[in-house]
Amino acid sequence: MHDQQEEPRLYGLMAEFETAEDLAKACHQSYEAGYRVQDAFSPYPVEEVSEALGHHKSYVPLLMLCGGIVGALTGFGLQYITSVHVYALNIGGRPLNSWPAFIPVTFEVTILFAGICGVLGMFALNGLPRPHHPVFNVKRFAAHASTDGFFLCIEAADPKFDRDGTETFLRSLHPSEVSEVEN
Amino acid sequence: MAFGEQSPVGKGARAQASKTQAQMAKPPELPLVGAGHDNKSVTEEISGVVFGKTPLWWFGALAVSGAVMVMMLYAIIYLLFTGTGVWGLNIPVGWGFAIINFVWWIGIGHAGTLISAILLLLNQSWRTSINRFAEAMTLFAVACAGLFPILHTGRPWLAVYWLLPYPNTMGLWPQFRSPLIWDVFAVSTYFTISLLFWYVGLVPDLAAMRDRAKNRLAAKVYGVFSLGWRGSAAHWHNYESLYLLLAGISTPLVLSVHTVVSFDFSVGQLPGWHATIFPPYFVAGAIYAGFAMVLLLAIPLRVMFKLQDFITLRHLENMGKVTLATGMIVAYGYLVEVFMAFYSGNQYEAFMILNRITGPYQVQWWLLLLCNALAPQVLWVKSWRRSPLVLFLVSIVVSIGMWLERFIIVVTSLHRDFLPSSWGMYAGTKWDWALYIGTMGMFLTLFFLFIRFVPMISIFEMRTIVPDRKNLDEAPKGGA
């Protein structure tokens, strides 16, 4: 896998592990060793791995909150403006701004906006859609990352990255394999 | 395989849940997954349903359901060209099959969201292998439900301006004080959020399909829909956060949908409709009918596609328990209806109940009690609850019972209201039946297409409840 090809554009080095526990341990050590521009890949979410890599905060909840607030204002505003100003109807002598009757629609629009913001926001924060990514150039990654492989990739962009030093470091984590990721 | 019992290897967010469950499972529970499965075998078997050879029965089933769907299209075309007079609707019963079927279908949809959202929040890891197709069921059921009110408007292409708020040349806006408009918002939001929830759950699995597809076109299509998902830890972090929050907002949403549907009735002043028990009674009924439908789909599916390792007896038993519990709530609703009718001291309310019990629709009323209150009681017996055949039969009976319930609510209240001079009778015409049965064809057609092209069990969530490949050979560890 890791031939002595000239490295025209090396994206990083990738180590493969057999279990989520091994990957989490490796991520922890790699973070301790000072690597920051790195990413781990697993076929299902592993909280320990995210934590070991220093992902503590997600902006998804904030985005959904903003979406929800905008939705609530839109939903109520729509009903208020149409029922009080644009198209005022006297329904059984009730006040034009009969706000309790506006709650259900306000609620639904709140949920709708929060949900859409959350989903679009999650994909945007993750930089998706992005059909091609250098990690897919690693054959074992393409075959196993979405099935049963656990991978740690230290990118060449990391200030501490050094072709040979990083490889030695990755090998010290007892991976089943280390490969180069070409750009 | 040394890995006999399914003890959870601590993994990720759901590790805690599985652990608590293992502790609670003191009288040994049936396993959640068949023995000897790991990440690879789970992925291979579930994606194998799609990548494998199309079974012959699938073509036959699709042909039959497709033919029934064509009947629906014919019924719709005839309706649109002739008018809603082809239905059995008239004064006094102006709300017939259209509303009965709408409520029936939308209720069925509720089980999908309950499984995907509420059971996720409650850390019920057994939901994992049934949530995907239950969510698909929700989408298709809501699509069927939506047809009825739209067609009931008579000329749907003209109905847009009073259903949806948009600036039109007539300067007209919807009447937001009516539950019927709330329904438009509730159902469309419900469909959109259910679709998003379903799709977000699918993305990692579509990525697995992309990586496993041998056919280049299939790989391209799955690739496009998986949006380039690569399982990065940073991505999973945002993903998990979103998934949990979507479950959080779907929970009040699903409760609100059938609540709003029940408002369609309870805001009116008709005896039999004007009752405060309606929202909880409707929501319970929805979940009841929905679980019956999930069982109706799951029991043949697991046999046809040999998925007994994933949809185990434990799943069937748990669904049977939910069916029994919600069935009891529904039975309580019937009891309260009868009690309140007399306790209210209102002669019209009392007459309404007497008319249900002894009037011209008494057969339907007694049948509904038999189907919804009595039949599910067999699920108290453990061995019957674990018998797919018994569950299947009970589910059919419950589905019929829930349709009868809506028939009774809609028809008996309308056909004899306050003035005896305006009383009348109601029955569906052949066009009513053609459309109703036709929507079942549409539902099944969509479902058959779904199971052929999309992994019907959430693969990545299954991976969280099976051991990793190395751990499979060793003794399972307690946690990460």
Q: Which residues of B229-265 are buried (b: 16+ CB within 10 A; e: fewer)?
A: bbbbbbbbbbbbbbbebbbbbbbebbbbbbbbbbbbb
In a domain, A5, yes or no: no
Residues of chain A with Cβ-Cβ distance to B171 below 8 Å are 86-87
A3 or B170: which leads in pLDDT: B170
Query: Of A76, A91, A125, which closes a domain?
Result: A125
Supply angle C-alpha B89, B90, B91, rounded to 5: 140
In a domain, A65, yes or no: yes
> How many structural domains comprise chain A?
2
The CB density around residue A131, as the number of other CB atoms within 10 Å, is 14
Q: Are A70 and A117 members of one domain?
A: yes
Q: Are A88 and A40 members of one domain?
A: no
> How many structural domains comprise chain B?
2
Residues of chain B with Cβ-Cβ distance to A133 below 8 Å are 228, 230
Q: Which of B170, B232, B251 to mutate to test the interface with A (most CBs of A within 10 A)?
A: B232
Q: Are A139 and A49 members of one domain?
A: yes
Q: Are A64 and A118 members of one domain?
A: yes
d(CA B46, CA B226) in angstroms, rounded, equals: 17
Residues 85-144 of A with CB under 8 A from B: 86-87, 89, 91, 94, 98, 101-102, 104-105, 107-109, 111-112, 114-116, 118-119, 121-123, 125-126, 128-133, 135-136, 142-143
Q: Which residue range forms the structural domain that includes residue B386? A: 269-425
In a domain, A2, yes or no: no
Q: Are A73 and A115 members of one domain?
A: yes
Q: What is the pLDDT of residue B13?
A: 41
Q: Are B237 and B121 members of one domain?
A: yes
Pairing of strands A150-155, A177-182: unpaired
Q: Are B331 and B444 members of one domain?
A: no
Q: Are A51 and A137 members of one domain?
A: yes
Q: What is the pLDDT of residue B475?
A: 38
Residues of chain A with Cβ-Cβ distance to B179 below 8 Å are 104
Q: Are B236 and B323 members of one domain?
A: no
Q: Are B412 and B439 members of one domain?
A: no
Q: Are B282 and B179 members of one domain?
A: no
A79 in contact with chain B, both atoms CB, cutoff 8 A:
yes
Mean pLDDT, range B201-214, rounded to an integer: 88
Q: Are B275 and B304 members of one domain?
A: yes
In a domain, A3, yes or no: no
Q: What is the pLDDT of residue B393?
A: 94
Q: Are B128 and B229 members of one domain?
A: yes
Q: Which residue range forms the structural domain that includes residue A176? A: 10-57+133-182
Supply angle C-alpha B454, B439, B319, rounded to 5: 60
In a domain, A177, yes or no: yes
Q: Are B233 and B192 members of one domain?
A: yes
Q: What is the pLDDT of residue B477?
A: 37
Please provide the average confidence, as pLDDT, over all residues in chain B: 86
Q: Are A66 and A120 members of one domain?
A: yes
Mean pLDDT, range B158-179, rounded to an integer: 86
In a domain, B8, yes or no: no
- Check if the beta carbon of residue B70 is closer than 8 Å to that of residue B439: no
Q: How far apart are the first and last CA of chain A?
A: 15
B130 pLDDT more than 90: no
Q: Are B273 and B135 members of one domain?
A: no
Q: What is the pLDDT of residue B314?
A: 86
Confidence of residue A1 (pLDDT cuts 50, 70, 90): very low
Q: Are A80 and A96 members of one domain?
A: yes
Q: Which of B39, B193, B223 is facing A112, going by the closest CB pair?
A: B193
The interface predicted TM-score (ipTM) is 0.89
pLDDT one-digit tens code per residue, A14-55: 888 888 888 888 888 888 888 888 888 888 888 888 888 888
User: To which H or E segment does residue B472 belong?
Assistant: helix B469-473
Query: Of A125, A145, A163, which closes a domain?
Result: A125
CA B123 to centroid of chain Cα atoms: 20
In a domain, A96, yes or no: yes
Q: Are B290 and B253 members of one domain?
A: no
